[in-house]
Structure 1
Amino acid sequence: MKKLLDYVLSSLYLLYFGLVLLVFHVIQAGAFHLIGKDAHKKTVDVMNAFIAYGWYLTGSTIQYRQLTDLPTDRPIIFVANHQSMFDISPIIWFLRRHTPIFVSKIELSHGIPSISYNLRKSGAALIDRKDAKQAISEIARLGKHIQQKKHSAVIFPEGTRSASGQMRPFATGGLAVLLKRAPGALVVPVVIRGTGHFNPKGIFPLRSFTRMSWTVLPGLEPAGQTPEDITRLAQEAIAAELEKTI
C-alpha cells in the first residue's frame, strides 16, 4: 500500500514540479532581460520556495534550523553534505539573504528548464570534472566574486551524492581554491538530512512522508588554519550533528 501511495503522490508532485520549472523559466528570462539581475534572483528564490514546499504534496516535511547568526558584511562559504538533487532548493530559499551561488557540474548548465538557466545566469562555478584546470579556474572565479560582493558560495566536498546518508570523505581542493580567492570568508557547515531517503533511486518514485531537514552550524574561522584543517573540522561537525536525533 505504501509503495502504491509513493507512486501516486510522486506523480502528483512531479507534475507540479515540471509546471513550476516551465513557468519560472519564462519568468526568470523576463526578469533577467527586462529588469535585471536583482529581479532574476528574486524569481529564483521564489521558485525554489515553490519547489521545496511542494514536497508537502507527497506528505513529506521540511525543517530549517539555524544554530548561529550569520554575517552579511563578509563572504560565506557554505559546506554541506550531499544526498540528493533536492538538497539545493531549501538552501537557496532559506539562505537567500546571503545570495548562495553553487559549485556545480557543467552538465547541469543545459537541458533542464529554469535550473540550467539559473546556473548560467547566477554566476555558478560550472566545473568539468574531466578538466582540472577548467574546474580550478571556475571555482577561483566564484571565490573572487563572493569576496568582492560579500555573497556566498555553496560547495559539496563529497563531490557526488550519497543517497544512503553515509558521508563520503570530504575533498579539500575546491574549498582551498575558494579560501584562496575569498580570504575574508567564514566557512559554515550545513547538515542535510533525509533527502537521500526521499529519492534514493532517481526522481521516480519518491518516498512519501519523508522528514527532511537543513541545519546551519556555527561558522569556522579559517584564519591560522590550513584548508585541510577547515575541511576536516567541517566534516567532523556535520558528522556529529548527523548522529543526533531531532
Structure 2
Amino acid sequence: MIRTAVFYLTLVFSTIFCGALAALAALLGGGRVWMDRANRGWARSVLAAAGVRVAVRGLEHLHPSGIQIIAANHQSYFDIWVLIAGLPASVRFIAKRELANIPMLSVGMRSAGHVLIDRDRARSARETLREAGVRMRAEQLTLVVFPEGTRSRDGQLGRFLRGSFALALETGAPLVPAAIDGGRRVYPPGAKRVRPGPITVRLGPAIRCDGAEPADRGTAMRRTRAAIEAMLAEDGRGGGASG
C-alpha cells in the first residue's frame, strides 16, 4: 500500500509541476528541448515511484532524424511513460480524446504537446492528424500511435484500427513497430494498486511508407501487426521482461 500511495502522490505532483513547466516553455517559446525535459521528468518520476525498470531493445531501428511513427501494442497506462523515458527521441503521442476524462493524465499530455483526437468525428480526426504530421516534420518529432485504439483487457494483441496508419501513409514517415511487455503485470486495467517490476520495449525494423498509396493501408497494418506479434512471442520465450 505504501508503494501505491507514493505512486499516486508522485503522479499528482509530478503532473502538476511538469505540466506547468511544459506550459511555461510553450509560452516563452522554449521549444522542443524544454518540452522533452518536461516529458522525461514526468515519465521518469512516475516510473521511479512505481518501482518500474525499463529495458529497451532495438534502438538501432530508430530513424536518426527523429521523424518517424512508432506503432505499439497497448497493455497499460505505463506504456506512455515507458516510451517517453526509454526512447532517445522527442516522443509525442496520438491518443484518443477520452483521455481528457482522466484529469491528471490529460493535463500532463496536453501541456507537454501530445495530440488527442476525436475518433468519433472523422473530419476532425483527419484534420488533427494533418496538423500532427506538420508538427512532426517541423519539430523533428517521433509520434506514437496505439493501433488497438485502447488498452488490451487480457494482455492479448487486439484488433488493429486501419485509421491508425493514415498518418504514416500521408506523410511517408518510417513506421517502426514496437512491442511493449510487462505493463499489464505492473498495473492491469481497472487496478488500484501498482506492483513494481520490469517493462520491456522491443523495436523492430522500420516499415517504409514513402510512396505508399491509401490502398496500401491494409498491407502496412498487417506487416506491423505481424512484427509486433513476433516480438511479443520472442519476449515470451525469453521469460518476459528483464531490467
Instruction: Sort the Cα spacing of 1:25 and 1:121 in 2 relative to 1 into closer, same or farther, 3 A.
Output: closer
Same amino acid, percent of matched pairs:
26
Equivalent residues in 2 for 1:194-205, closer than 5 Å: 194-205=182-193
Aligned to 1:104: 95
Residues 17-52 of structure 1: CA distance to partner in whole angstroms, max 9, x if unpaired? 222223323333333334523323322222212122
Where structure 1 has 5 or more consecutive residues not aligned to the other structure, the ranges are 1-6
Whether the aligned pair in 1 keeps the contact of 2:93 and 2:144 (CA below 8 Å) is yes
Cα distance in 2 between the residues matched to 1:210 and 1:94: 15
Aligned to 1:88: 80
Which one of 82, 92, 106 corresponds to residue 116 of structure 1?
Answer: 106
CA RMSD of aligned residues (A): 2.4
Residue type of the alignment partner of 1:172 = R
Q: Does 1:179 align with 2:158?
A: no
Cα distance in 1 between the residues matched to 2:146 and 2:101: 20
Tell me the TM-score normalised to structure 2 length. 0.84
Where structure 2 has 5 or more consecutive residues not aligned to the other structure, the ranges are 239-243
Residues 102-155 of structure 1: CA distance to partner in whole angstroms, max 9, x if unpaired? 111223347634x43443345433211321221122112212322344322110
Whether the aligned pair in 1 keeps the contact of 2:22 and 2:111 (CA below 8 Å) is no
Aligned to 2:127: 137
Aligned to 1:3: none
Shift, 1:218, TM fit: 1.4
Cα distance in 2 between the residues matched to 1:34 and 1:223: 35
Which one of 179, 188, 192 corresponds to residue 191 of structure 1?
Answer: 179
Structure 1 segments (4+ residues) deviating >4 Å: none
Aligned to 1:127: 117
Aligned to 1:53: 48
Shift, 1:167, TM fit: 0.6
Shift, 1:83, TM fit: 0.9
Aligned to 2:198: 211
Tell me the TM-score normalised to structure 1 length. 0.83
Instruction: Sort the Cα spacing of 1:9 and 1:69 in 2 relative to 1 into closer, same or farther, 3 A.
Output: same
Cα distance in 2 between the residues matched to 1:74 and 1:17: 28
